[in-house]
Amino acid sequence: LVLTPDWFQGLSKYLSLRDANFWPDFPTSAQEIRNLFILAGEKSPETIIAVTPELVRIWLELIGGTRMAKWGVNFTPENFDLVLQFLVESKIQGRWGVKQPVMDLLSQMIAPYSVTRITPADVAAIDWDTFFQEKHIQANSQDKQLQSIFENWGIANHLERQEDADNFLAFDFISIGANKSEKFVWSRLEHNSLIAPDGSIQNTLKITRTHALKPGEISEQLGEKTWSQNVRDLLTPDIVWKLGAGENRTMLRVWVPYDAEFISGVSPSGVVRALPRAERDFTMLEIPMNVLPGETLVAEVQYKTRIARGSQSWRPYNLQISGTPARKQTKLIPTISVVDDGKFTAETANVGAPIDLVDGNVRAVVEWK
């Protein structure tokens, strides 16, 4: 069994199958999932595939949404997750059929009357390149040939530093608030690399999180006004809290180079910690971030890294960004600055621009007189 960190103890002391996709390195998560099956006395799956709700959203878009007549609820590409969470959390199917609405939705989505609405042109119009870049599907297999295919398709999702990367960033957002409020939270990440002639880099990471839920927004997205009274009665204040009206409590984990020197960290939500060589030979920063509806929270971390390449008169710089699955409401702004009147002789177009959290590189060459 895997003992969870102290900040996760309120949800579970040990990792269960529900939370086993705990590592940004998907092969690690896949192996832990297999271990849990073995501990439960079940057959261990050879191949494990993880998908995000984005696949459901795309499918509902293709079939034009669907409706569950017995409860009078509509599933659209915009609200399906919220409606499904309501049906599950309210135990609308009874205490012995809590997850039955999930199976009911799946059955309707793949029913012949739904599938026949989809045309090849509809499928071709989907932006599949972005779908894969945003890591909405990840896969791992113990079959070497199949794993090789996953590697070639770019869905194996290893957390690893490139050989020519001078710096490294990976983000992982873990909800510990026991509610579904992340749907309403927007994140802005600003990372600045201050480069000196001796190769030292002063890294500053600023994180801004805004809980943008508006009064009545959950009811509006659910379509509550169209429900029968017996279904509306199930939308209690406690259920509304679980659906996102509660405090968003998130532990942001940031992976940086193993030799990073932690300088300082400030967060209104608690102590910022640096754990050297915590996982896969990286240093991991833990930044607690709790924010209430209508509020904005700001945290900041500073640490030092080094560039080994170049000389006192010039330094090439490559910041590798490892993508985070399904972070549509998050933008990263990477900037580079220099000391002692240095100047840029080359830089990539993404320097200073808001970018999505997908795999990529921010590069520059700096020279000093």
pLDDT tens per residue across span 242-271: 999 999 999 999 999 999 999 999 999 999
What are the distances in angstroms from CA 112 to CA 18, 134, 312, 344?
A: 31, 30, 67, 59
Residue 89 near residue 239 (C-beta atoms within 8 A): yes
Looking at residue 140, what is its pLDDT?
98
Looking at residue 341, what is its pLDDT?
87
| Cα–Cα distance measured from residue 332 to residue 358, given in angstroms and rounded to the nearest whole number | 10
Looking at residue 59, what is its pLDDT?
97
How many Cβ atoms sit within 10 Å of the Cβ of residue 185?
22
pLDDT bracket for residue 227 (50, 70, 90): very high
Average pLDDT over residues 68-92: 96
Tens of pLDDT, residues 303-313? 999 999 999 99
Tens of pLDDT, residues 291-340? 999 999 999 999 999 999 999 999 999 999 999 999 999 999 999 999 98
* Residue 280 in this model has a pLDDT that exceeds 80: no
Looking at residue 248, what is its pLDDT?
97
Tell me the two tokens of residue 298. Answer: 């700001």
pLDDT bracket for residue 281 (50, 70, 90): confident
* Residue 199 in this model has a pLDDT that exceeds 90: yes
pLDDT bracket for residue 80 (50, 70, 90): very high
How wide is the angle at C-alpha 244 spanned by C-alphas 243 and 249, nearest 5°? Answer: 125
Average pLDDT, the chain: 95
* Residue 277 in this model has a pLDDT that exceeds 90: no
Tens of pLDDT, residues 96-106? 999 999 999 99
pLDDT bracket for residue 1 (50, 70, 90): confident
Percent over 90 (pLDDT), the chain: 95
Question: 195: closest CA among 353, 347, 354, 355?
Answer: 347
Tell me the β-bridge partners of 37. none
